[in-house]
Amino acid sequence: HLSPSVAGLLLAKELEYLDGAVNNGEKPMAAIVGGSKVSSKITVLETLLDKCDTVVIGGGMVFTFLKAKGLNVGSSLVEDDFVETAKKVMAKAEASGKTLILPSDIVVADAFAADANTQIVKQDAIPDGWMGLDNGPEATKEIADALSTCKTVIWNGPMGVFEMDAFAKGTFAIVDALEEITSRGACTIIGGGDSVAAVEKSGKADKMSHISTGGGASLELLEGKVLPGVDALAEAKVPA
């Protein structure tokens, strides 16, 4: 064992923002949780629902939630094993007086391809054979409005398949909304690989309060886990 074991400045900053924001962030606080699968985000989603006033759900995981609401999701990505989990999350949000936002309209496509045919439909009107690949304009405006009064926002996961231009608007609109509130003094934290990639692609990385470089470890911190490498650090002795 190397002793003393101490953290560098980058790790200290990660802990200050990711751990500090979740546990002591200024309210109102919102979390934006996106990405394709509920299964990989369920722990962080439940943790953030406990801590935040508002949770925005985006990306492919939306359709497991819409199915849990009894809606038709066409050929959108759904994790059938997590439909009951999604129901529990929605019930927990309602019981605890939290706001859980699912997109009210959706950009759907007839294929998972950059040149697919697309249309914008309401969340309860996804046609058979079509898949949701991004938030629609109404959803984007509702999310921006919800974020506009927040003092702390944690973002983990994109709103759509932003790597394809046809399905990137929802994700880049989040970047714009976060840039706006950061300029007014809000604390905005981008944690998670795809969100970081989206912010960097937008050219606005320097407009956010903190961009996590921790990858999967950021997700574990947001989940409230103690990282083994952090646990092993020596306690600082305060000089007398």
Please provide the DSSP assignment of 72-89 as one string.
Answer: --TT----GGGHHHHHHH
CA distance 128 to 125: 9
Burial of 129 (0-12, 13-18, 19+ CB in 10 A): exposed
CA distance 138 to 19: 32
Q: Which of these ranges, 2-16, 143-157, 179-193, 205-219, has the smallest mean pLDDT?
A: 2-16
The CA-based angle 26-35-183, given to 5 degrees, is 35
**pTM of the prediction?**
0.89
Q: Please report the pLDDT score of residue 231 as a whole number.
A: 66
Q: Please report the pLDDT score of residue 14 as a whole number.
A: 76
Q: Please report the pLDDT score of residue 239 as a whole number.
A: 52
Report pLDDT digits (tens) over 4-48. 655 666 677 777 777 777 788 899 999 999 999 999 899 889 999
More confident residue, 54 or 235: 54
Burial of 71 (0-12, 13-18, 19+ CB in 10 A): middle
Arithmetic mean of pLDDT, 191-208:
92
The tokens describing 54, both together, are 């508002």
Radius of gyration of the chain (CA): 18
Report pLDDT digits (tens) over 60-111. 999 999 999 999 999 999 999 999 999 999 999 999 999 999 999 999 999 9
What does the mean pLDDT of the chain come to? 90
Q: Please report the pLDDT score of residue 234 as a whole number.
A: 53
CA distances from 96 to 4, 10, 100, 104 (A): 44, 35, 11, 22
Q: Pick left, alpha or beta for residue 6 (phi over 0 → left; psi -120 to 50 → alpha; otherwise beta).
A: beta
Q: Which of these ranges, 105-114, 116-125, 147-156, 230-239, has the smallest mean pLDDT?
A: 230-239
Burial of 40 (0-12, 13-18, 19+ CB in 10 A): middle
CA distance 116 to 193: 26
The tokens describing 92, both together, are 């927990």
CA distance 168 to 134: 7
CA distance 100 to 66: 12
The answer to whether the beta carbons of residues 101 and 140 sit under 8 Å apart is no
